[in-house]
Chains A and B, each alone.
Chain A
C-alpha cells in the first residue's frame, strides 16, 4: 500500500514550548488511521501542520507524492486533503444547508462575471449542489435541521455537520480532530457508522485524533501513538492496548493531572 500522506521529522515550537518534536507519520491509502496520545502530546498541532494552518519550523509533508510543506491550506484542500476542528467550527450565521452548499470546490457562481453573464449555468450548478447537500443531510441525519442556523445546533450536531461538510467535497483524505468529543452515545453511533461507510463504500482515507477508545477500537487500523511531540509507537489497537510503553504514557498523564 502506498502512503497517501507522509510527514517526516516535523518540528514546531511556540515560544519556549516544543509542541512537535521530530514527529513522523504515514497514512496509507484506504485506511482509517488513528492518532492517539495523552493531552498535550501535540496531536492538534500536528493537524495544524498537516493542513497548513501553521507552517512547521522544520520537516516535510507530502501528499500524493507531492511536497506540500509550503502550500497554502486551500491548495491542500484542492488536492484532496480536508480537515475538521477539535472544537467544531461551523459558520454560525448560516443555515445547515448553506454550510453544506458552501463546501463544493470551484463553483461557477463563486466568480464575478458568471453571475451576470451565465446565470443559467450558475443556477443549474446550484441545483446540483443542492441535490447533493440533500443527500448528505440524509446520510448525516441533519435533514430536519436544514434551515436552522448552524450556531444554534447542539455540540454533537455541530460535529456531524462538520463531518457532513467534508462529504460535499471530492477529497481523498479527511483529518478528523476528535470527532466524538461532546457527542452523546446515540449520535456517536451515527458518526462511527458514517466514517465506516465513507471509508468502505466511498474509499475515503481518514486520520482520526480521538480520546474515545471504543471509537478507536471499532474504526482504526493502524493506530499511531504520540507523546511529547514525537512518535511513541504504531500498530494494531489490540497490541497497543497491551504495550507497557503506551499504558505508561497514558497513565502517566492521568496521574499527573
Chain B
C-alpha cells in the first residue's frame, strides 16, 4: 500500500507542476493552452532520447527538456501573435497533437508505439533500489516547491499585476504602454519550461514512455485541476491537482466493491465522474476551491 501511495504522490507532483504552469499561462495571463500533453511529451522525449540515443547524462538531459519546453512555448506564443485568443486554443491543440503524432511515427528515433525504454535515472546508481521510489518522490516534491516558489514570486511581483491586467483587457494594457506581446511570449515560455520539466521527470520515473500516454485528455485533467483549484491562486492549484488525482485514482477502487462494473466500464465512468465533478464545482464555487485572492496593500507594502 505504501508503495502505491508513494507512486501516487509522485504522479500528483507531475500534475501539480503542469497545473502551476497552466495557471501562469491561463489563470494569471488569460492565455489558453490546450496543448499541455504536447509540452509534456516534448519534455519526456527530449530528456529520454538525449540519454538513450546520445548518452547525455540525466543531469543535463532534464534541463535540456526544460529548455525545449521553453522554446516551444515561446514559438507557439509568437506564432499566435496575429491571432485572437480563441485561435491560440486551436493552435496549441494542434501543436500538442503534432508532437504526439511525430513521436508516434518517427519510430526509428522514438520507437513509436513500442515505447522508449529509458535506463538513466537521476542518482540511479547512488541510491539503493528499495529506497529509490521514496527518493524520487522527494525529488519531484522539490521540483513542485521550486515551481510553486517561482509562480508565487511572479504572481506577487509587478509582473504578475501586469499579466493580470493583460488578462483583463489587453488593449488597455497596450495603450498604457505595456509591451503585451513580450509579456505574453515570456510567460508562455516560462510555463513551457515547467511543462518540459514535468515531462522529463515523468520519463525518468516510469522509464518507458509511449505516445498514447500523451493524449489530449491529459490536458483536460490539468485544466480540471486549475479550474477546480482556483485559477490565479497557486495554492488552489496544488489543491486542485491533488483533488483531481485523488478522484482519478480513488475511483479505481470502487470496482473492487461491486461486481456490476468491470474495469472497462469503470474507466469510462471515471471520465463521466470527472465531468460531473467539474460541473458541481463550477455550480457551487465558480472561482474554484481557493479563488484568486484580492490584493491586500496593507499586508504587502507596510512591511
Q: Chain A: residues with CB nearer than 8 A to chain B? A: 51-53, 72-74, 76-78, 82-83, 85, 89, 91-95, 97-99, 101-103, 105, 107-112, 115-116, 122, 125-127, 129-130, 146-147, 149, 165-166, 169
Indicate with 1 or 0, residue by residue over B143-162, a CB within 8 angstroms of chain A CB atoms.
Answer: 00000001001100111011
Question: Would B295 and A97 count as touching, CB distance under 8 A?
Answer: yes
Count B interface residues, CB 8 Å. 31
The answer to whether A77 and B153 touch (CB under 8 A), given A93-B164, A95-B295, is no
The answer to whether A116 and B153 touch (CB under 8 A), given A93-B168, A95-B295, A147-B296, is yes
A76–B294 alpha-carbon span in the complex (Å): 31
The residues of A that contact B164 with a CB separation of less than 8 Å are: 91, 93-94, 98
* Residue B176 is within 8 A (CB to CB) of chain A in the complex: yes
Question: Would B159 and A115 count as touching, CB distance under 8 A?
Answer: yes
Question: Would A97 and B297 count as touching, CB distance under 8 A?
Answer: yes
Question: Would A146 and B172 count as touching, CB distance under 8 A?
Answer: no
Question: Would B294 and A95 count as touching, CB distance under 8 A?
Answer: yes
Question: Would A109 and B159 count as touching, CB distance under 8 A?
Answer: yes
What is the distance, in angstroms, from A88's C-beta to the closest C-beta of chain B?
A: 10
CB pairs A–B below 8 angstroms (26 shown): A73-B171, A74-B178, A74-B180, A77-B176, A77-B178, A82-B175, A82-B176, A91-B164, A91-B165, A91-B172, A94-B295, A98-B295, A99-B165, A101-B158, A101-B161, A102-B161, A107-B158, A110-B159, A110-B183, A112-B186, A116-B153, A122-B158, A147-B294, A147-B296, A149-B294, A169-B176
A84–B172 alpha-carbon span in the complex (Å): 8
Given contacts A97-B295, A103-B176, A165-B176, 19 further A-B contacts (CB under 8 A): A53-B174, A53-B175, A73-B171, A73-B175, A74-B176, A74-B178, A77-B176, A82-B175, A82-B176, A93-B168, A93-B292, A95-B294, A97-B297, A98-B295, A109-B157, A112-B186, A115-B153, A122-B158, A147-B294
Number of inter-chain CB pairs below 8 Å: 106
* Residue B169 is within 8 A (CB to CB) of chain A in the complex: yes
Question: Would B292 and A130 count as touching, CB distance under 8 A?
Answer: no
Question: Would B178 and A91 count as touching, CB distance under 8 A?
Answer: no
The answer to whether A112 and B159 touch (CB under 8 A), given A92-B168, A149-B294, is yes
The residues of B that contact A105 with a CB separation of less than 8 Å are: 177
Looking at chain A's contact residues, is the secondary structure mostly helix, strand, loop, or mixed? helix
The answer to whether A115 and B154 touch (CB under 8 A), given A92-B168, A97-B297, is yes
* Residue B301 is within 8 A (CB to CB) of chain A in the complex: yes
* Residue B190 is within 8 A (CB to CB) of chain A in the complex: yes
Q: Closest chain A residue to B189 by CB distance?
A: A112
What is the distance, in angstroms, from B165's C-beta to the closest C-beta of chain A?
A: 5
The 7 closest A-B pairs by CB, nearest first: A77-B177, A109-B158, A91-B168, A73-B174, A109-B157, A107-B158, A115-B157
The answer to whether A122 and B171 touch (CB under 8 A), given A97-B295, A130-B297, is no
* Residue B105 is within 8 A (CB to CB) of chain A in the complex: no
The residues of B that contact A101 with a CB separation of less than 8 Å are: 158, 161
The residues of A that contact B153 with a CB separation of less than 8 Å are: 115-116
A129–B161 alpha-carbon span in the complex (Å): 13
What is the distance, in angstroms, from B178's C-beta to the closest C-beta of chain A?
A: 6
A110–B163 alpha-carbon span in the complex (Å): 9
The residues of A that contact B294 with a CB separation of less than 8 Å are: 95, 147, 149
What is the distance, in angstroms, from A168's C-beta to the closest C-beta of chain B?
A: 9
Give the residue of A83, A110, A116 whose beta carbon is less than 8 angstroms from that of B175. Answer: A83
Question: Would A91 and B295 count as touching, CB distance under 8 A?
Answer: no
Indicate with 1 or 0, residue by residue over B173-205, a CB within 8 angstroms of chain A CB atoms.
Answer: 111111110010010001000000000000000
A30–B128 alpha-carbon span in the complex (Å): 77
